[in-house]
Structure 1
Amino acid sequence: MNQQVKTGPIMAALLVAGFVGLFSETALNIALGQLSQIFNVDATTVQWLATGYFLTLGILIPVTGILMQKFTTRQMFLTSVILILGGTILAASAPAFGLLLAGRVIQAAGLAINLPLTQNVIFAIYPPHKRGGAMGIMGLVMLAGPALGPTLAGLILDTMSWHYIFWLTTPFLLFSLMFGIIYLTNVNEVRKVSIDALSVILSTIGFGGLVYGFSVSGTAGWTSATVLGSIIVGLIAVILFSVRQMKMETPMLNLRAFKYPMFILGVVMSFITFFNMLSMLVILPMYMQMALVIAAFTTGLILLPGSLLNCLLAPTIGRLFDKYGPKAVITPGTIFVVISYAIYVQFGTETALWMVVITHIVMMLGIGAVLASTQTNTLNSLPKQYYPDGIAITQTIQQVAGAVGIAVMVSLSESKQENYLATTGNELPQAAAAGSSFVFTIALVLAVINFVLSLFMKKPKEA
């Protein structure tokens, strides 16, 4: 660890801003129904507060790889925190729906810079044998933010107005800004790189089209021209983008990172983990509210022990990774996830709440072990000059995986519910249980695939 670099305060500045951004990603979900009435907009329109957030991340994260080479660490950091702060204040004081949505998009733009930047700084200021611990703490933030979002937002909505979901995070952002200004040094090498306009356009259409298509599939339906058109156009643009990157001397996103087998393995495992994790954070509360008929705030409290335990153990998991290598941490983690989904599949309308709590704790421990360790190993397998590209690739894939996971799992759950209701009449709790059990079965299959893949994880010879 560099002596002149104060790693603690630097990490605090980056991670606090990241936590606020990730907390904001899911916190508003619980208030969408209320906001739909307050601003007098329909359910499809209000859903844009979530869709717009994902869409902005999907579009901007691929561009950050080249931005981190073009601008200094401090420039990138200040831009990210000012965007998150500005977006938060705009959203908190928004008198109209359009301004609230604009605030969300500006918040997401800041987070799109913060997430890759934090990973890049970790890889610059920590030697390979200490990265696991640092990435473990980042993993905790990446899990705790989205997981605590609905719980804390539920508490805020029960006691105050929705504006405070935003207002209460502003002091943390001001703290982050102050610490960053004082302690953050420029740790990246700035190069003269030109940003290729066609690459940016193809990336925007490609990743934006995919995220948008999947995000609106729940409301528009999978067979709608908008959904199919967005996904097809997105796929074509991603293919054209990839071909262009391979032909360019200095690509916007260096896809040569895919030459490294451990990188490919890590990317696939990250995709499955995020696909399953973000869809679970939506499906599980839906199951509890509809099948077990419990209030939103109670749902948040039931999910709290798993999230908190994960927070406490994240640094330890990172240290175990540093000491014993990837397989010793990741494979047991995937086993925990498999066991949890195997139990989730059995859940019905009579499931005891303590059973939900215990299973969620096991699940969060498993995800905690897989998430950060997989990311660390994936990036450790690359040469140093590929770090910004590797980080941008993995972060983009994670955001796309999350958007796709939520859209696919929610729509499958709802179609299963409708089929159940069509054959049995009006037993909504049973239908909700059948729908969630069906998607948990799919998630279980994916979790087993991740377990098998983890057996091939190796520590890269030289980071």
Structure 2
Amino acid sequence: MKQAVDINGKPYNRVLLISVLLLGSFCTILNQTLLATAFPVLMKDFKISASTVQWLTTGFMLVNGIMIPITAWMMNKFSSKKLYLFAMITFLIGTLQCFLAPSFNLLLIGRLIQTIGVGVSMPLLQTIMLTIFPPEKRGAAMGMTGIVIGLAPALGPTLSGWIIDHYHWRDLFGMIIPIVVIVIVLAFFFMKSVIPLSNPSIDILSVILSTLGFGSLLYGFSSVGNDGWGSKIVISTLILGIILIALFSRRQLKLEHPFLELRVFKEPVFMIAAILSGVTNMAMVGAEMVIPLYIQNIRGESAFHSGLMLLPGALVMGAMMPITGIIFDKYGAKRLAITGMFILTAATAPFAFLTETTPILYIIVLYAIRMFGISMVMMPVTTSGMNALPEKLITHGTAVNNTFRQIASSIGTAILISVLTNVTTSKLPDKTMLKTTPLAYKEGATTATLSGYHAAFLVAIVFGILGLTISLFLKKNPVINKDAGKEEAGQ
């Protein structure tokens, strides 16, 4: 590969730039799930309720979802070096505040500051990788990105469980601080401005509609687990979110220089890839929530051990991401996606028949097979969609794809958790049995809970079948937009 040059024509070391980018992004994305097992300890330390501590996750998700569309504008307005330094310094400030927080309110504020850095760094990572590599090598490049995006959140629960068991919850943040400081120092020397700038003006009304619309929609779906679909808050926030996003979308299609270019959906390859990526995320994230609940509630394992059981699956996905990226560069996404979705669906089916005595090793292996299937779909499909766009729309394509995936994850989780809750509740034995025949009530409650898990996994199977069906519409050969330097390949 010829010498890499930045937007000013100056040469730079591509390997060092990528290394700094991946290390920093790993730290930021790891934080999505790093507090997974710390909630009970935080509730005890700060004397707060479960619904209050949940804001550390809900707030993180909301700000992240809001920041992703804004980042598309920022990437076209500011140099990628300055933007990356902004993301990492903001993340460091938030992490320091979390580490030192004397109260829950200050911990939450620190968490939200962290999330601004995450919301910028994740789309920036993908856009830079798509920009500095030619289309025919983007599969391998996005495979490396997939290691970070897929592996970091999956490692969070296991790592946090181990630290909570052996150290203090503050160490969850303390261990990251020196690494982020090193990343910032290295970024000053090795990060370069590589994304072409167009200096767009900002449309304030678009920012307001985007922030309130996506924020309201994500809040609505995140509230379903606790409040149910019939809750006035859930219904009102979902309706408000849909209305504001519709107004936002209408405005973007009328603006000559939109805040977020939604015309990327006019490219059929991108649209199919975005939908399939979203459905895959629904299948992955929803099941990632339900499986640990089964392991903890039915099998009586700790949060740490439940996270540990999912670790082999995370490692399988991390190991496979670069391999599937290389395969994509040679053969395209269609065969990979069909095979991956079939494996994902087939490996999900046995979870619909879990019992109290299902061997733990069986669950670990099945989950690893699911993640193997997901690794064949996630990054190859995303890359195929991006390759179909002209270079000038890569930043918008990345933002649209990430926003779509974030919303799909929230929808998938909300659906599975609500199905699990509703089926379990409907099948619970009469509470009078608790006094008359407590053993029979306990047995009935366990059966009801298992029925809830079975129903949730049946829905996850439906997600898998839906994804498998959509994957049939992908192009057989790689599709590369003419603006990216190659002619389009047909089916």
TM-score category, normalised to shorter length: over 0.9
CA separation in 2, counterparts of 1:422 and 1:200?
Answer: 50
**Residue correspondence of structure 1 range 12-27 to structure 2 within 5 A:** 12-27=19-34
Counterparts of 2:116 and 2:214, CA distance in 1: 15
CA contact under 8 A between 1:214 and 1:403: conserved in structure 2? yes
CA contact (8 A) 1:92 1:164 kept: yes
Alignment partners' CA distance in 1, 2:84 and 2:77: 13
**Equivalent of residue 169 in structure 1, options 156, 170, 176:** 176
- Asked if structure 2 preserves the Cα contact closer than 8 Å seen for 1:62 and 1:203, the reply is yes
The alignment partner of 2:35 has SS state of helix
Of 437, 440, 460, the match for 2:454: 437
Give the structure with the larger helix fraction.
Answer: 1
Maintained 8 Å contact 2:387/2:480: no
Over 3 Å counting, the alpha-carbon distance change for 1:7 and 1:45 in structure 2 is same
State the alpha-carbon separation in 1 of the partners of residues 307 and 172 from structure 2: 15
Q: What residue in structure 1 maps to residue 442 of structure 2?
A: 426
- Residue 195 of structure 1 aligns with an amino acid whose one-letter code is I
SS in 2 for 1:28: coil
Is 1:240 paired with 2:247? yes
Superposed CA offset, 1:218-272 (max 9, x none) = 2233222211111100000000000000000000001110110011101111111
Distance (whole Å) between structure 2 residues aligned to residue 395 and residue 158 of structure 1: 34
Deviation readout 1:184-214 (Å, 9 max, x if unpaired): 1111122231110000000011100000111
Is there any run of 5+ residues in structure 1 with no aligned partner, and where?
none
**Matching residue of 2:187:** 180
- 1:84 equivalent in alignment to 2:91: yes
1:342 aligns with 2:333: no
- Which amino acid is 1:95 matched to? P
Equivalent position of 2:479 in the other structure? 460
Distance 1:333 1:380 in 2: 20
Match of 1:308 among 307, 311, 315: 315
Q: CA deviation at 1:2?
A: 5.0
Matches within 5 A, 1:118-267: 118-267=125-274
Which of 408, 412, 422 lines up with 2:415 in the alignment?
408
- Structure 2: which amino acid aligns with 1:425? Y
Change (3 A) 1:348 1:202: same
Higher relative contact order (CA 8 A, sep 6+): 1
Cα drift, residue 362 of structure 1: 0.4
Partner Cα separation in structure 2 for residue 410 and residue 330 of structure 1? 26
Distance in 2 (alpha carbons) for counterparts of 1:80 and 1:264: 29
Structure 1 partner of 2:463: 446
User: Alignment RMSD, CA only?
Assistant: 1.4
DSSP-derived class of the 1:345 partner: helix
**Given the alignment, which residue of 326, 331, 334 partners 1:319?**
326
Paired-residue identity, %: 36
TM-superposed CA distance for 1:461, in Å, is 4.3
Shift of 1:440: 0.9
* Whole-angstrom distance in 2 between the partners of 1:98 and 1:280: 31
CA contact (8 A) 1:292 1:349 kept: yes
Instruction: Return the letter of the residue paired with 1:286.
Output: L
Partner Cα distance (1:9, 1:433) in 2: 50
Per mean C-alpha deviation after superposition, the further-off stretch among 302-311 and 421-430 is: 421-430
**Structure whose alpha-carbon radius of gyration is higher:** 2
Give the Å deviation of 1:349.
1.2
Residues of 2 paired with 1:229 and 1:422: CA distance? 33
Q: CA deviation at 1:63?
A: 1.0
What residue number does 1:374 align with? Answer: 381
Equivalent residues of 1:349, 1:430 under 8 A apart:
no
CA contact (8 A) 2:135 2:480 kept: no
User: 3-state SS of the aligned residue for 2:428?
Assistant: helix
Would the alpha carbon gap of residues 179 and 431 (structure 1) be closer, same or farther in structure 2, given more than 3 Å must change? Answer: farther
**Residue 49 (structure 1) aligned with residue 56 (structure 2):** yes
Q: Contact 1:84 / 1:109 at 8 angstroms: preserved in 2? A: yes
Can you list the C-alpha shifts for 1:111-169, whole angstroms capped at 9, x where unaligned?
A: 11011111111111101111101101111211111111101111111101111111112
Please report how far the alpha carbon of residue 397 of structure 1 lies from its aligned counterpart in structure 2 after TM superposition: 1.1
TM-score, normalised via structure 2 length: 0.91
Q: Distance in 2 between matches of 1:347 and 1:18?
A: 36
Aligned to 2:276: 269
Deviations 1:422-462 (A, max 9, x none): 36733444333222221111110111111111122112143
Structure 1 residue 414: Cα displacement = 1.6
- Partner deviation per Cα, 1:27-63 (whole Å, 9 max, x = no partner): 2121112211211111111110000000001111111
1:422 counterpart SS class: coil
- Tell me which of 274, 288, 292 is aligned to 2:295: 288
TM-score of the aligned structures, taking structure 1 as reference length: 0.97
CA contact 1:291–1:430 (8 Å) conserved in 2: no
Number of the residue aligned with 2:119:
112
Distance 1:334 1:58, change over 3 A: same
User: Deviation at 1:291?
Assistant: 1.4
Distance in 2 (alpha carbons) for counterparts of 1:274 and 1:85? 28
Which aligned segments of 4 or more residues in structure 1 are displaced greater than 6 angstroms? none
Amino acid across the alignment from 2:177: T
8 Å CA contact 1:379–1:387 kept in 2: the answer is yes
Out of 1-10 and 208-217, give the one that drifted further.
1-10
* Rounded Cα–Cα distance in structure 2 between residues aligned with 1:416 and 1:174: 48
User: Is 2:292–2:306's contact at 8 Å kept on the other side of the alignment?
Assistant: yes
Residue identity matched to 1:83: T
8 Å Cα contact 2:282/2:463 also seen in 1: no
**Shift of residue 348 of structure 1?**
1.7
Equivalent pair of 1:305/1:357 in contact (CA under 8 Å):
yes
